[in-house]
Amino acid sequence: MGLRKILTDKEPALHKVCKPVVNFDAKLFKLLDDMKETLQDANGVGLAAPQVGILRRVVLVDTGEEVLELVNPELLETDGEQEGAEGCLSVPGKYGLVKRPYYAKVRAQDRHGEWFECEGEELIARCFCHELDHLDGIVYTEVMERFLTEEELEAGE
């Protein structure tokens, strides 16, 4: 395994639509392993392949209990609404006010190509939507209402 460089939002790769994964092989396994190590090293909740310069539909989400590997993920269902602070490893040190669904259900493939479904509320739902946006070339700063100030962050906005 190895750490990968996390691209910042100025990098063109973050604004491109990713291609589906078609080969479930050692190259994919290495990408997933490297992304997991990179995510944990950065102390993040989610990481998408384009954030490490790979334009493939691959996302990791740390639920607190496990790190989900989502290959070719699709958003199946959302419900409710939440508004809150959102950050991104590719936009270090900044947080924006973003509306997201309260609940999200995703269908994806695992590293071996097997389909499965997972779901989450609150932070996990926010993370699913945020990371899947990355796969379509969307960074949260494009969908946020506004950046939050230091005062708002300290007050728990």
Q: How far apart are CA 157 and CA 154, in angstroms?
A: 8
Region 45-60: what's the mean pLDDT? 98
* Number of neighbours of residue 112 by Cβ within 10 angstroms: 9
Question: pLDDT at position 157, please?
Answer: 54
Whether pLDDT at 155 is above 90 = no
Q: Give the rounded percent of residues in the chain with a pLDDT score beyond 90.
A: 92
pTM above 0.85, yes or no: yes
Q: Which CATH architecture has domain 12-155?
A: Alpha-Beta Complex (3.90)
Q: Which long-range contacts (CB under 8 A, 24 or more apart) does 79-83 make?
A: 79/103, 82/122, 82/125, 82/126, 83/145
Q: Give the closest residue to 135 by CA, choosing from 113, 114, 106.
A: 106
Whether pLDDT at 153 is above 90 = no
Give residue-wise pLDDT tens across range 6-23.
Answer: 999 889 999 999 999 999
77 is catalytic: no
Q: How far apart are CA 84 and CA 97, in angstroms?
A: 5
Region 53-74: what's the mean pLDDT? 97
What number of residues does the chain have? 157
Place of tokens 């790190």: 67
Q: How far apart are CA 9 and CA 100, in angstroms?
A: 20
Domain ranges of the chain: 12-155
Tell me if 3 sits within 8 A of 38, measured CB to CB. Answer: yes
Catalytic choice (114, 131, 154, 157): 131
Q: Give the closest residue to 17 by CA, choosing from 43, 44, 41, 50.
A: 50
Tell me if 145 sits within 8 A of 81, measured CB to CB. Answer: no
Region 140-151: what's the mean pLDDT? 94
Whether pLDDT at 156 is above 80 = no
Question: pLDDT at position 100, please?
Answer: 98
Give residue-wise pLDDT tens across range 91-124.
Answer: 999 999 999 999 999 999 999 999 999 999 999 9
Q: How many CA atoms lie within 13 A of 49 on its CB side?
A: 26
Whether pLDDT at 1 is above 70 = no
Arithmetic mean of pLDDT over the chain: 96
